[in-house]
C-alpha cells in the first residue's frame, strides 16, 4: 500500500480499507448501512481506493468505480465529522483525480463523474467538476433498488 504523509500528520494510503473501518466511516456521517457482504464487494470491485489516517485511525476515504477507460465515478468520498474542514477531502479528491487521469489513454477523453451530497457542490466545483444540468447535459438521476416497504 503506497503512502503519502502530509504536513498535518495525516497519512494518505492507497489500497483497500479494512471492511470494519469502511463501515465505521460510513456510519460516522449517517450514510445508508451496508451489510458486510456489500462492503466487501464494494472494496473488492473498486478501481482504486485511498484513505486518510491520523495515526492508526482512518479519518477519511474515497474510491473510484467504473470501467477505467470511458467512465470513472468518484464514490464514497467521506470524512469523519470531527476531521471535516481541515483540507483532507481536498487531498483525497485530488488523489482520486490524479489516479483517474493516470488511467486515461493519451489523446482521449474520459468522463469522471460523481453524485455529491446536497450542499457539497461548491467543494466539487472548486476541484473542476461541472454541476448539472447545463445547456447540453441533463440532470444526474438515481434509482434505488430495495425491498418493497
Mean pLDDT computed over every residue of the chain: 92
Q: Which domains does the chain have, with CATH numbers?
A: 3-125 (3.40.630.30)
The SS3 assignment for 38 reads: helix
Q: Are 99 and 67 in contact (CB under 8 A)?
A: no
How many residues appear in the chain? 149
Q: 99-145: per-residue pLDDT in tens?
A: 999 999 999 999 999 998 888 999 999 999 999 899 998 988 888 87
E strands, the chain, where?
A: 3-5, 11-14, 48-54, 57-66, 71-79, 111-113
Query: pTM to 2 decimals?
Result: 0.91
Amino acid at each position: 500500500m503506497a503512502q503519502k504523509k502530509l504536513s498535518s500528520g495525516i497519512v494518505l494510503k492507497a489500497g483497500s480499507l479494512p471492511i470494519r473501518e469502511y463501515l465505521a466511516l460510513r456510519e460516522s456521517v449517517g450514510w445508508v448501512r451496508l451489510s458486510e457482504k456489500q462492503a466487501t464487494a464494494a472494496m473488492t470491485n473498486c478501481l482504486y481506493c485511498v484513505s486518510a489516517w491520523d495515526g492508526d485511525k482512518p479519518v477519511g476515504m474515497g474510491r473510484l468505480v467504473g470501467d477505467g477507460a470511458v467512465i470513472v465515478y468518484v464514490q464514497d468520498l467521506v470524512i469523519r465529522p470531527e476531521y471535516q474542514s481541515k483540507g483532507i477531502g481536498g487531498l483525497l479528491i485530488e488523489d482520486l483525480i490524479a489516479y483517474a487521469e493516470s488511467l486515461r489513454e493519451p489523446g482521449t477523453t474520459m468522463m469522471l463523474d460523481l453524485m455529491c451530497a446536497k450542499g457539497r457542490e461548491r467543494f466539487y466545483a472548486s476541484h473542476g467538476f461541472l454541476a448539472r444540468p447545463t445547456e447540453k447535459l441533463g440532470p444526474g438521476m438515481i434509482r434505488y433498488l430495495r425491498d418493497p416497504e
